């Protein structure tokens, strides 16, 4: 009997922002710590080559429901601004359940991406993941998850 699980049995891939050249966007609201039993959620920002003077910021917000009721920032959940001299890299924001104001009913999270300034393109994508360790192997990924291939040696 193995105590190790495949990546896709411990990680839920939530809705994100598809990679493209685009302006400011938000991910959908997710509740990674409620039904999924996650102990961590990670929002991954993958930035391509930015046009001259273009900047990208990403922060996380929390809300009490999937409509965004009472939306407010999660303290400290913000990346250092991406510029045309610090582009072509991946940045992540990782949060634990206690980062949310759950005492006041805040269980939903989303990423807010702001593109500003300069000229030219702002290619980026965002992926939201949650790692579920409380009940390993008991995950359900979002509809954007298409295929999992597992290879052993």
CATH (domain of 27): 2.60.120.1110
- Within a domain: 60: yes
| In-domain check, residue 140 | no
- Residue 33's pLDDT is 87
Asked if the structure places residue 146 within a domain, the reply is no
Q: Is residue 63 part of a domain?
A: yes
Pairwise CA distance, residues 65 & 43, whole Å: 19
Pairwise CA distance, residues 109 & 82, whole Å = 22
Closest by CA position to 61, among listed 103, 24, 113: 113
Domain assignment present for residue 121? The answer is: yes
> Would 57 be classed as within a structural domain?
yes
In a domain, 135, yes or no: no
Number of structural domains found in the chain: 1
pLDDT at residue 1, as a whole number: 42
- Residue 6 placed within a domain: no
pLDDT of residue 150: 52
Range of the domain at 82: 14-129
Return per-residue pLDDT of the chain as tens, 153 residues.
445 556 666 777 777 888 888 899 999 999 988 865 688 899 999 999 999 999 999 999 999 999 999 999 999 999 999 999 999 999 999 999 999 999 999 999 999 999 999 888 899 999 999 886 555 544 455 555 555 555 545
How far apart (Å, rounded) are the C-alpha atoms in residues 48 and 130? 24
Q: Which of 124, 108, 116 is nearest to 44 (CA)?
A: 124
Q: Model-level pTM greater than 0.85?
A: no
């Amino acid at each position: 009997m193995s105590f190790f699980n495949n990546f896709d049995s411990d990680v839920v891939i939530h809705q994100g922002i598809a990679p493209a050249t685009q302006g400011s966007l938000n991910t959908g609201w997710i509740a990674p710590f409620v039904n999924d039993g996650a102990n961590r959620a990670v929002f991954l920002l993958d930035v391509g080559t930015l046009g001259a003077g273009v900047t990208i910021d990403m922060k996380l917000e929390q809300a009490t429901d999937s409509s965004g009721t009472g939306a407010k920032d999660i303290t400290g959940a913000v990346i250092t601004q991406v510029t045309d001299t610090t582009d072509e890299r991946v940045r992540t924001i990782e949060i634990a359940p206690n980062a949310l104001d759950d005492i006041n009913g805040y269980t939903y999270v989303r990423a807010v991406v702001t593109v500003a300034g300069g000229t030219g393109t702002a290619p980026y994508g965002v992926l939201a993941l949650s790692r579920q360790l409380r009940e390993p192997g008991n995950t359900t990924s979002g509809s954007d998850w298409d295929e999992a291939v597992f290879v052993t040696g």
